[in-house]
Amino acid sequence: MSYDFRLISGRAPTFAEPLPVGQLYFPQWPRYVAAMRGIFDRHYYTNHGPLVQKLEEELARFLKVKHVICVTNATIGLMMVADALRLTGKVIVPSYTFVATAQSLKWCGLTPVFCDIDPESQQIDIDAAALLIDQEVSAILAVNLWGDACDTGALQALADANGISLYFDSAHAFGVAIENVPIAGFGRAEVFSFHATKVLSAGEGGCVTTNDDNVAARLRNIRSSYGAGPTVPVVKTSNGRMSEAQAAIALMSLDDYPSIQARNKALFDAYSQNLAVIPGIRLLHPKNVSASNYQYATCTIEPVEFGLARDQLLQLLEAENILARRYFYPGTHRSAGFDGNAEAVAARLPMTERICDISFQLPLGARLDVSDVEKICALIARAQREAPQISQFMARDGVCE
Ligand X SMILES: *Cc1c(COP(=O)(O)O)cnc(C)c1O
Please report, as ranges, the residues that interact with ligand X according to CB under 6 A: 73-75, 97-98, 100-101, 143, 169, 171-172, 193, 195, 206
Q: Which is nearer to ligand X, 79 or 275 (CB)?
A: 79
SS3 at position 92: strand
Residues 147 and 170 sit within 8 Å (Cβ to Cβ) = no
What is the nearest approach in angstroms of ligand X to the Cβ of residue 143? 5
What is the nearest approach in angstroms of ligand X to the Cβ of residue 179? 23
Q: Which is nearer to ligand X, 9 or 101 (CB)?
A: 101
What is the nearest approach in angstroms of ligand X to the Cβ of residue 102? 10
Q: Which is nearer to ligand X, 296 or 393 (CB)?
A: 296
d(Cα 286, Cα 280) in Å, to the nearest integer? 19
Vertex 124 angle, CA 358 and 363, to 5°: 45
Residues 115 and 122 sit within 8 Å (Cβ to Cβ) = no
d(Cα 373, Cα 379) in Å, to the nearest integer? 10
d(Cα 149, Cα 194) in Å, to the nearest integer? 18
First to last CA, the chain: 17
What is the nearest approach in angstroms of ligand X to the Cβ of residue 90? 19
What is the nearest approach in angstroms of ligand X to the Cβ of residue 195? 4
SS3 at position 114: strand
What is the nearest approach in angstroms of ligand X to the Cβ of residue 233? 27
Q: Which is nearer to ligand X, 98 or 268 (CB)?
A: 98
> What one-letter code names the amino acid at 137?
V
Vertex 173 angle, CA 170 and 176, to 5°: 135
**Cα torsion for 44, 49, 55, 56, to the nearest 10°?**
170
Tell which residue, 251, 254, 115, has the closest CA to residue 175: 254
d(Cα 176, Cα 316) in Å, to the nearest integer? 33
Q: Which is nearer to ligand X, 44 or 327 (CB)?
A: 327
Q: Which is nearer to ligand X, 68 or 171 (CB)?
A: 171
Q: Which is nearer to ligand X, 100 or 362 (CB)?
A: 100
- Give the DSSP letter of residue 139: E
Peptide bond preceding 279 in cis form (omega within 30 of 0): no
What is the nearest approach in angstroms of ligand X to the Cβ of residue 40? 26
Q: How far is CA 41 from CA 35, 48, 208, 249, in A?
A: 10, 17, 29, 17
What is the nearest approach in angstroms of ligand X to the Cβ of residue 113? 18
d(Cα 326, Cα 306) in Å, to the nearest integer? 17
Q: Which is nearer to ligand X, 142 or 383 (CB)?
A: 142
What is the nearest approach in angstroms of ligand X to the Cβ of residue 228? 20
Q: Which is nearer to ligand X, 73 or 210 (CB)?
A: 73
Number of H helices, E strands in the chain: 15, 12
